[in-house]
Amino acid sequence: MKRIQIIKAALKLIVESEVHAVTIANIAAEANVGIGTVYKHFESKEDIIQKIWIWQKIQESNYVFKDYKPEGSVYDQFNFLWGKVIRYFIEHQLEFQFSYRFASSPILTKEIHEIAMKDFMIFNDLYEQGIQQNLFKPISAKHLRLYTFSTINGWILWAIDEKVELTDEIISLYLQMAWDAIRK
C-alpha cells in the first residue's frame, strides 16, 4: 500500500515538474510518508522512476488487454488494441505524460523495459501476422510497433495541446491513418 502511494505521489510530482527538481523529500511529503519509508521501498529516485514505469505498464496492460481475444483479422485486432491504448492514455493523463517523457530515457534500462513491456509483445505478434500476410511495409514487427506507438503519442499530445476532444470518430480516424501509414 505505501509502495503504491509513493509511486503515485512520485508520478504526479515528476510529471508536474522537471525530474531533477523532484527530491526524495518532495516525494515523501506528497505521499504523506517519512523519507525512511521511501528508502525502505526504493533505493533512489532512479529506482522510483523505474518502478513507476513497471507499475504504469502493468496498469496499462490490464486495461488494454482486458477482453482481448487474438482472433479476427489483423486489421480488427490492430484497431481494438491501439484503440484501447489511446483510451487508456486519454483516461490516465499523468501516466500518458510519464510514458511519453520516459519511454526513451536512459534511466529505463533494457532489463526494466523487458520487465515492463513483456505483455506488449502481443503487438509484435500481431505485426508478425501482418508481415506474414504481406500487409505491412518491409520493416520489423518491433519497428512497426514503435512507429505506431510514437505516432499515436504525437497525436495525443497534439490533441491535448490543441484541446481537441478525442471522440470515437476522431480515434477511428487516427487508427485508420496509422494503419494506412504502415500498410503496403
State the greatest distance between any 2 C-alpha atoms of the chain, in Å, as a whole number: 56
DSSP state, residue 136:
B
Question: Up-side HSE of residue 46: CA atoms within 13 Å toward CB?
Answer: 6
| Ranges of residues in the chain whose predicted pLDDT is under 70 | none
Q: What is the model's pLDDT at position 83?
A: 97
Answer for the pair 59, 95: CB distance below 8 angstroms, yes or no: yes
User: How far is the C-alpha of 153 from the C-alpha of 133, rounded, in Å?
Assistant: 27
Q: What is the model's pLDDT at position 104?
A: 86
User: How far is the C-alpha of 38 from the C-alpha of 35, rounded, in Å?
Assistant: 5
Q: What is the model's pLDDT at position 26?
A: 97
Q: What is the model's pLDDT at position 88?
A: 96
Q: Which long-range contacts link 90-93 to residues 24+ away (Cβ below 8 Å)?
A: 90/156, 90/166, 92/59, 92/60, 93/160
Cβ atoms within 10 A of the Cβ of 6, count? 25
User: How far is the C-alpha of 157 from the C-alpha of 159, rounded, in Å?
Assistant: 5
